[in-house]
């Protein structure tokens, strides 16, 4: 069976299928079937809880009880050995199972030694992958020649013959590079900080750049290892360019934008950006999108990198972190604007988090309908604090105005109900008065008063 794209990729899974099918010939053998049958019985019994339900076993912790199944298989393999029957399959499945079940006791043990030990990370990034590799390799070794199978060609990529072993190793190598690349990257970023005095905030960006570099170099190394040379790279690049043009344009665009933003330093982890009027902290600059945390409600925002690259963004931390904020307030016409301005400046200055320099300023900004409006402008060191400081200043203004008898006027509106059909008096008003309330007529209130008038 050959699936091919002329001159580019040829895939020939026939050899692998043959190998897999040949494994079935072992099922002709009674001793193999007997071992598999026993494994099946123990596994089913374990799954249905038959091995753990006994009263005397309930006193044993769960993480010990789960080891009963695998231990039964190992004991069976010992018995098979004693009576001279093949026993390796029982031992293999027993050990495999025991290994899998040992994760929990191992994690408990590690946590008992050190509660802060990252056991989950260790399990997912190291223990389980290693377990998978060991399990597959030992299984293949049982079934046939590992080396023979490893050298079975299954694909041809740009004239390079890819064997199963090389593909397997390449996958493992790429996984290891992706998982462990953060360590050397962190070290390099730290080293840059020490040697060249890079600020901690910039180090995180550098760390990401180093990480991408390690991954790219690693992938190129893996490609060379599996035999893809310079010519093949050119061919792959040619193929990719078509792919980029049609299918994965957005992904590449986001990736390149992310790299560029890191170089430029405008969007780095720790930066504070305004997104739709809300200050947000950059948490992570990913391959495709930037992760931000919105200060207002703590929501996590995922914004494609190219948005920052192509659209306007407001940063409060690009060159300096201080931000200017303002509070608008209105005071009655009867108060002297000089006194109000002076009072507003004093209130703002007295707040602990308002910067002394640049100085606080207050202005008269409008002669409005019912009040003279003022604006007090002040600078804060951390843009994320401005919301809280604004609130503090507003509260203080209210209290100070209250103390000093300064009123904050508000528009007042009088409402008169209309009757239908209009009475003669109303009609005369409408025609001659233009709707303005004439002197001598008391304005009426809505609600019960209206009813009371009607009844009258």
Partner 1 sequence: MEANRVCAPIRRNRCSIALVLSTSLLGGCAITDSQGSIVLKVAQASNENEQHSSHRFEAERKITRDFQHQLIQKQPGIKLHPSIYPEESLERELKVQTNSGLGPDLVIADSNQALSLLALGLTEPIKLTKERQNLINPAALERVKTATGSLAGQPVSQFLQLACFDKRKLKKAPTTLSELSADSGKGKIFGMVTNLQDLYWSLGSFGAGEALTASLAGKKATEAAHERLTLWMRWLKASSYQQNIVFLRNQAALRKAFIQGEMSWISCWSSQLPQLRKELKDHLGIAPLPSGNFGRATPITRLQVWALGKNSSKRQRAESLKLLNFMVQPWAQKTYALKYQTGFPVNPAAALIVSKQLPAGFSKFSEDENKRVSRGDAIVSAINAKPRLRKDIQSTLNKLIFDGLSPEKAATELQNQMKANR
Backbone angles phi, psi at 115, to 5 degrees: -65, -25
Q: Kindly state the smallest distance separating residue 166's Cβ from partner 1, in Å.
A: 8
Residue corresponding to tokens 């809505």: 446
Residue 166 or 323: the one with the smaller Cβ distance to partner 1 is 166
Dihedral angle, C-alpha 391, 392, 395, 397, nearest 10 °: -110
Residue 231 or 427: the one with the smaller Cβ distance to partner 1 is 231
Residue 165 or 409: the one with the smaller Cβ distance to partner 1 is 165
Residue pair 443/437 in contact by the 8 Å Cβ criterion:
yes
Q: How far apart are CA 275 and CA 264, in angstroms?
A: 19
Contacts of 207 (CB under 8 A, 6+ apart): 182, 185, 186, 188, 189
Q: Kindly state the smallest distance separating residue 36's Cβ from partner 1, in Å.
A: 7
Residue 89 or 341: the one with the smaller Cβ distance to partner 1 is 89
Residue 160 or 180: the one with the smaller Cβ distance to partner 1 is 160
Q: How far apart are CA 110 and CA 285, in angstroms?
A: 32
Q: Provide the binding-site residues for partner 1, judged by CB under 8 A.
A: 18-19, 21-22, 24-33, 35-37, 40, 44, 47, 85-89, 91-92, 141-145, 147-149, 151, 163, 166, 227
Collapsing DSSP to helix, strand or coil, 259 comes out as helix
Largest CA distance in the chain: 122
Residue 169 or 191: the one with the smaller Cβ distance to partner 1 is 169
Q: Kindly state the smallest distance separating residue 85's Cβ from partner 1, in Å.
A: 8
How far is Cα of residue 7 from the mean position of the Cα atoms in its chain? 41
Residue 22 or 136: the one with the smaller Cβ distance to partner 1 is 22
Residue 93 or 308: the one with the smaller Cβ distance to partner 1 is 93
* CA atoms lying within 13 Å on the CB side of residue 251: 8
Q: Kindly state the smallest distance separating residue 32's Cβ from partner 1, in Å.
A: 5
Residue 363, both tokens: 């202005």
Q: How far apart are CA 60 and CA 251, in angstroms?
A: 53
Q: Kindly state the smallest distance separating residue 140's Cβ from partner 1, in Å.
A: 10
Q: Kindly state the smallest distance separating residue 58's Cβ from partner 1, in Å.
A: 23
Q: Kindly state the smallest distance separating residue 38's Cβ from partner 1, in Å.
A: 12
Q: How far apart are CA 119 and CA 105, in angstroms?
A: 11
Q: Kindly state the smallest distance separating residue 81's Cβ from partner 1, in Å.
A: 8
Q: Kindly state the smallest distance separating residue 14's Cβ from partner 1, in Å.
A: 11
Of 100, 103, 94, nearest to 72 by C-alpha is: 94
Residue 335, both tokens: 């108060």
Residue 328, both tokens: 């608008």
Q: How far apart are CA 387 and CA 21, in angstroms?
A: 69
Q: How far apart are CA 150 and CA 139, in angstroms?
A: 13
Residue pair 123/103 in contact by the 8 Å Cβ criterion:
yes
Residue 24 or 55: the one with the smaller Cβ distance to partner 1 is 24
């Amino acid at each position: 069976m050959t699936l091919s794209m002329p001159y580019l990729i040829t895939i020939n899974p026939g050899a692998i299928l043959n190998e897999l099918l040949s494994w079935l010939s072992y099922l002709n053998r009674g001793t193999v079937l007997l071992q598999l049958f026993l494994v099946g019985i123990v596994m089913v019994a374990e799954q249905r809880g038959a091995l753990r339900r006994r009263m005397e076993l309930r006193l044993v912790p769960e993480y010990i009880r789960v080891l009963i199944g695998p231990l039964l298989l190992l004991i069976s393999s010992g018995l098979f050995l004693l009576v001279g029957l093949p026993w390796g399959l029982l031992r293999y499945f027993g050990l495999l199972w025991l290994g899998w079940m040992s994760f929990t006791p191992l994690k408990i043990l590690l946590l008992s030694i050190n509660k802060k030990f990252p056991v989950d990370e260790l399990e997912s990034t190291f223990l389980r992958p290693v377990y998978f590799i060991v399990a597959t390799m030992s299984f293949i070794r049982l079934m046939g020649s590992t080396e023979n199978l490893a050298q079975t060609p299954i694909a041809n990529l740009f004239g390079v013959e890819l064997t199963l072993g090389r593909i397997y190793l390449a996958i493992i190598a790429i996984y290891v590079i992706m998982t462990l690349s953060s360590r050397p990257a962190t070290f390099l970023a730290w080293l840059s900080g020490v040697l060249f005095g890079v600020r901690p905030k910039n180090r995180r960006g550098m760390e990401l750049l180093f990480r991408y570099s390690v991954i790219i170099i690693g992938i190129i190394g893996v490609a060379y290892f599996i035999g893809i040379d310079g010519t093949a790279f050119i061919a792959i690049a040619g193929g990719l360019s078509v792919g980029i043009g049609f299918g994965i344009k957005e992904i590449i665009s986001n990736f390149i934008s992310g790299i560029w933003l890191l170089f430029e330093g405008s969007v780095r982890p720790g930066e504070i950006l305004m997104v739709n009027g809300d200050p947000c902290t950059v948490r992570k600059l990913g391959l495709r999108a930037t992760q931000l945390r919105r200060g207002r409600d703590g929501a996590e925002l995922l914004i494609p990198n190219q948005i920052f690259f192509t659209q306007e963004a407001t940063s409060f931390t690009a060159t300096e972190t201080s931000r200017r904020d303002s509070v608008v307030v209105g005071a009655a016409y009867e108060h002297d604007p000089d006194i109000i301005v002076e009072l507003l400046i004093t209130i703002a200055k007295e707040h602990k988090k308002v910067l002394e320099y640049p100085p606080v300023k207050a202005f008269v900004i409008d002669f409005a309908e019912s009040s003279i409006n003022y604006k007090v402008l002040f600078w804060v060191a951390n843009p994320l604090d401005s919301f809280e400081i604004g609130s503090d200043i507003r509260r203080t203004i209210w209290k100070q105005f209250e103390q000093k008898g300064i009123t904050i006027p508000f528009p007042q509106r009088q409402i008169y109900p209309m009757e239908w059909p209009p009475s003669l008096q109303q009609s005369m008003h409408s025609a001659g008065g233009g709707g303005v309330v004439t002197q001598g007529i008391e304005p009426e209130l809505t609600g019960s008063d209206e009813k009371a008038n009607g009844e009258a």
